Chains A and B, each alone.
Chain A
């Protein structure tokens, strides 16, 4: 494949995807920690008649997004044998449910519930909001430490 003309195309496409993703996060309310915490506060659903004080709006974000990605992952590879600007589809290969998956997801959920930020909204509001900036700096540090530990473990065990 001729890589020169597609390089700027690839970068432009990735940048555009990031912009649209950010617009979705802002519009949906995911960048407002109070809304996220209101959604995770499930026990508030029993305070008064359903949904009580629970804020179910963010379920509609995930619902709307998954409706689109269900179509995306079902159709794209039927319509085209390779991505528009790349040689192949990089589908995640792992399917096993192991300790790292469960423990990692559990820790991530705890952090999400503490501050109301997950990685996308934190990055999207990092330049607007001091809380998000501190959170993001700590998150990047955690990522670097874990990546380093995991690659060292992979070397010693394999």
Chain B
């Protein structure tokens, strides 16, 4: 286990070096991996890789006999934990709890009500050439940009 953790630390450190090398290229490679994971899920299980939909369904029907959603989420959390540990750079100071809770509630409510997030509407919906998803992406990009602008103004 310890060697595994060291190994994944080494991987994430090389990721960091690579990221410093050319951020645009690294971002695109990361995007291709996200797309490849979505393709794997579509080809293998015929399911769209929408994180918010998978999470909300897993939560509300936890005893559903088909537990592929829990397996996907486990992979996401374990993978993020192992690969992200070398990237524990102080990207942002700890933010006020109230702000984080507000933001989390908005994202939870909005993704269920609007049936998708950056992965379901963005990565998969745009790939499916869905106009509905395109409208959703333009909407959440716009309100995200407005929110950041307002926050920058308030700070």
Contacts and interface: CB of A to CB of B under 8 A. Distances in A.
Interface string B32-72: 11111111111111111101100110011000001111011
Given A84-B43, A118-B117, A139 B105 contact: yes
Contact of B144 (A87, A109, A119, A143): A109
A127 B77 contact: yes
A interface, by DSSP: helix, strand, loop or mixed? Answer: helix
B17 to A, nearest CB: 12
Given A21-B76, A25-B80, A146-B109, A140 B30 contact: no
A128 B88 CA distance: 8
Chain A interface size range: 35 or more
B27 A120 contact: no
A153 to B, nearest CB: 11
A21 B97 CA distance: 28
B5 interface: no
Given A31-B87, A134-B104, A147-B59, A21 B34 contact: yes
Given A105-B110, A119-B51, A20 B140 contact: no
Given A40-B148, A68-B39, A109 B91 contact: no
Given A41-B148, A60-B31, A110-B147, A135 B100 contact: yes
A117 B92 contact: no
Residue among B59, B88, B103, B146 facing the most chain A CB atoms (10 A cut-off): B103
A154 interface: no
A115 B151 CA distance: 10
Interface string B112-155: 11111111011111111111100111011111111111011000
Interface string A92-109: 101111001111111111
Contacts of A37: 148
A105 to B, nearest CB: 4
Given A15-B75, A120-B76, A65 B32 contact: yes
B107 A72 contact: no
Contact of A69 (B69, B115, B123): B123
Q: Which 9 pairs of residues, A with B, have the shortest CB-CB distance?
A: A142-B108, A104-B114, A18-B75, A28-B30, A69-B127, A124-B80, A64-B31, A138-B104, A68-B35
